[in-house]
Structure 1
Amino acid sequence: MRLIYCIALSIIIIFSSCETDFELNAPYKTTPIIYGLLDQSLDTQFIKINKSFLGNTNNADFAPINDCTQFDYLIAVLEERDQNNFLTGSDTLGEIMIGNLDEGIFYEDSQKIYFLETPNNYLNDDHIYKLKVNVPEKNLNFSAETELVNGAGLMFDFYTKITLQLNGFKCADNDLATTDEYLNTRLEWNTTLNGKRYELILRVHFIEYNLSGDTVSKFIEWDLGDKTSISTNGSEEMTKIISGKSFFDMIDSKLKNYNLEQEVEKRTFSSDAIEIILTAGSEDLNTYMQINEPVTNVVNERPIFTNVENGIGLFGSKFSKKLVTSMSDGTVLELCKGQTTSQYKFCCDSSEQIITISNLTGGVNVGCN
């Protein structure tokens, strides 16, 4: 009996001496975060520089608080070095607060962005750029560097350019009586130095006229996917076939759920309605995007990719080229009068194209009147 009493007393002492409170979080350490892509085709470069945050409750509650994610003061310098690593110039980035942000868990009213104005030919295709950041208050120094995607070497094939210039964007024939008679468009281009990932975007520009008398310039954007080059040395040939049927199905899918459709009187387009944007991304950008693609297997863990020294994030480069062209007579005819898209009130305001299509079709009117 005495033994049982001693054992029971020992258990009570052990458990009463244990603390019930414990810390799930390790001691907080500020981790700098950089996200930025240099693009010499733009007149201003924007870079996001943040810090990690840690709260004692749900971290999602702290994400909307700017003070938790932004440094009060820092010095960000972009250095330019030639191929021999000699410093050829440097610029200090400015800071601005930007608003009109997409909805999300972070602060939506405004966020701090760092920027550098880069007029035409300000950034050199052949040079290396290093971003160096100092946070005096916390004695933090972190950096990242990137080569530029060579803009001069990124180009559409000559045959692609001349075909679009002469024939326009051709997705359908000139006869409405032939069902499912769609035509495919072939795009070809050459890869460029330091480019690894190539993305194509197609935009259809139009003007929307409302019954209220308002007019709004709009565009429909179509993601045509991406391709990855074998190397970053450039001069590889790449091809993308754009399905004619998919073009009209895409327009239908973008507009069929437009909740203000009943207020639209008509939609018109100009001779430069089609914009094709080709963007080349650096190898680091490609690696980052591959790692963060949707998981398709049972392993949900992703490796962490960063090219930031003493921090995390991505500092890379990209470059964009675009082609602007008209829609062919057959494409206009199908857009305005075809079964898939005729309900969206597209009409042509080019008298020359209206007459041409009327002559080709025996009197079909694609005009707005």
Structure 2
Amino acid sequence: MLILKSRKYLNMKLKIYLGFAVAIVLAGIASCSTDVDINAPYETTAVVYGFVEPIEDTQYVKINRTYLGDGNNAEYAAINDSTMFESVEGTVDKIVNGTVQESYPLEELWVNDIEEGMFYTDSQKVFYWVPTSGIDDQATYQLNINVNEGEKVVTAETEVVGFVNFKQNFRNKVVNTNGVSFANTAAVGQNVYNDLGIEWGVAENGKRYQVKLVFNYEEHTATDTTMRSISTTLGSVVGQSADIDFFQNYNGENFYAFVENRLKNDPNEANIIKRVAHGLEFHIIVADENLHTYMEVNEPATGIVNERPIFTNISNGFGLFASRNTTILDERNLSGDPIFLSLNSERELVFGPYTQDLKFCSKYFPTDPVIGCQ
């Protein structure tokens, strides 16, 4: 189901877009040498970041401008108007076989409670558009931006990343009635761990694939029960062919080490009575070739040369308009029941060396005398 995300989600996405944009805007700040008159005529450039994501019902675009002040440009960064155009109008066109089928207007949205940083954090303007009929994975989407009533016209386009198919061999391992087997720990002190091979097929227009595991659990205190989630990235792979499937191995011991690492210093630990494993989610996050190239160009430099090229697919501006998509496997049957841990995997969670102090018990095996929740 596609749902409109909360303000927290919008803030997270805005942080991503700002993170992309900071390098470009700061490049404009840092590019002035001591031999350049900073008061000379300066041409403002549009900095645009947006993604077309089929899993989302609302799509977002961040539109800013480079700036140059008379003094310390880092100080100007804290002034919201420094990075905003006076007026911005735009559309996103859905194009099929060279013909515009639908056109969606860009709407303004002010997002508050942004995390502190170099740039203005009281509020930030983003733009959004709503594809009323959903994202068509056979279409091309063209972004059209009119800045300051025709002063600048900025365009970009992207094809759409499709969903992946989890291979049946993997699905059989995680949706079976026995649960996911990360461990074969039948008794205290055994600690036998199993590998899990995650297998999936190629996504249309996909280039880079990232695998993420989400662990959902209940946290019980004397007064409340709260659903919590923690996640970890299992790895990423770049597609080299359009017809080769992918495989990512994950060692079960790493799962318990991950849970321990994320929960061992919980500031609320003294108030927690018990934790109850709820379910697992497997996410495949796919980037198109443009986003892959952008990420590749902007990876940390490992050599002695720090200078790197700037990649953009924005016409008459800088930035990126690309597609990414996420396929999620989180249910084991048509009733929507979550993917759960096997009996021995839950035993390892309850009394294994990594997580034995985290107060886990099992609701899926309540009659087990050792691990069942009482």
TM-score between both structures, scaled by the size of structure 2 = 0.84
Alignment partner, residue 347 of structure 2? 333
Question: Are 2:174 and 2:180, in contact at CA under 8 Å, matched by a contact in 1?
Answer: yes
> Structure 1 runs of 4+ off > 6 angstroms?
none
Aligned to 1:98: 111
Please state whether the residue corresponding to 1:33 is helix, strand or coil: strand
C-alpha separation in 2, matches of 1:118 and 1:327: 38
Q: How does 1:107-146 map to 2 (within 5 A)?
A: 107-119=120-132, 121-137=133-149, 139-146=151-158
Closer, same or farther in 2 for the Cα pair 1:138/1:54, shift >3 Å? Answer: farther
Which residue of the other structure, out of 152, 161, 183, is the alignment partner of 1:172? Answer: 183
The number of residue pairs the alignment matches comes to 332
* Offset, 1:286: 0.2
Contact 2:188–2:352 (8 Å) recurs in 1: no
SS in 2 for 1:61: helix
For residues 175 and 245 of structure 1, what CA distance do their matches in structure 2 show? Answer: 15
3-state DSSP class of the match of 2:366? helix
Equivalent residue, structure 1, for 2:264: 256
Question: Gapped runs of 5+ residues in structure 2?
Answer: 1-34, 331-338
Amino acid at match of 2:262: K
Tell me whether 1:300 sits opposite 2:314 in the alignment.
Answer: no
Structure 1 residues 266 and 25: alpha-carbon distance in aligned structure 2, compared to 1, 3 A threshold: farther
Structure 2 residue 236 is matched with structure 1 residue 226: yes
Q: Is 2:321 the counterpart of 1:315?
A: yes
Structure-2 residue corresponding to 1:17: none
Rg larger for? 1
**CA separation of 1:300/1:22 partners in 2, compared to 1, >3 Å: closer, same or farther?**
closer
Describe the SS at the equivalent of 1:191: coil
SS of match in other structure, 1:335 = helix
Q: Deviations over 1:255-277 (max 9, x none)?
A: 1222222222211133xx10111
Given candidates 172, 178, 186, the residue that maps to 2:197 is 186
1:46 is aligned to 60
CA contact (8 A) 1:196 1:286 kept: yes
SS of the equivalent of 1:72 reads: coil
Q: Alignment partner for residue 67 of structure 1, among 78, 81, 94?
A: 81
Q: Which amino acid in structure 2 is aligned with residue 158 of structure 1?
A: Q
Percent sequence identity over aligned pairs:
34
Deviation, 1:24, is 4.1
Give the aligned residue type for 1:228.
V
Offset of residue 143 of structure 1: 0.7
Partner of 2:217: 206
Contact 1:64 1:106 in 2 (8 A): yes
Say if 2:251 is the partner of 1:243: yes
Please tell me the residue identity of whatever aligns with 1:116. W
Q: Which residue of 2 aligns with 1:291?
A: 297
The answer to whether the 8 A contact 1:160-1:188 is kept is yes
Query: How many Å apart are 1:112 and its aligned residue?
Result: 0.6
**Of residues 279, 282, 285 in structure 2, which corresponds to 1:276?**
282
Is the Cα contact below 8 Å between 2:286 and 2:326 reproduced in 1?
yes
Structure 1 CA distance, aligned partners of 2:273 and 2:78? 41
Query: What's 1:160 paired with?
Result: 170
Q: Does the residue aligned with 2:175 lie in a helix, a strand or coil? A: helix
Q: Deviations over 1:171-218 (max 9, x none)?
A: 10142345441011111001122100001111101121234x133221
> Partners of 2:234 and 2:119 in 1: how far apart?
30
Structure 1 equivalent of residue 359 of structure 2: 345
**Residues 68-108 of structure 1, C-alpha deviations (whole Å, 9 max, x = no match):** 1122321111011113x122221111111112323321122
- Does residue 86 (structure 1) correspond to residue 102 (structure 2)? The answer is no
Gaps of 5+ in 1: 1-20
Deviation at 1:349, TM superposition (A): 2.5
Contact kept, 8 Å, 1:40 with 1:118, in 2: the verdict is no
| Offset at residue 341 of structure 1 (A) | 0.4
Task: Report SS of the residue matched to 1:50.
Answer: strand
Distance across 1 between alignment mates of 2:40 and 2:238:
40
1:223 positional shift:
1.0
Whole-Å Cα distance in 1 between the matches of residues 74 and 360 of structure 2? 45
Cα deviation, 1:122-146, whole Å, max 9, x if unaligned, reads: 2211111110000134611111100
Query: What is the TM-score of this pair, normalised by structure 1?
Result: 0.85
Q: Which letter does structure 1 place at the counterpart of 2:153?
A: N
Query: Conserved in 1, the CA contact under 8 Å of 2:191 and 2:348?
Result: no
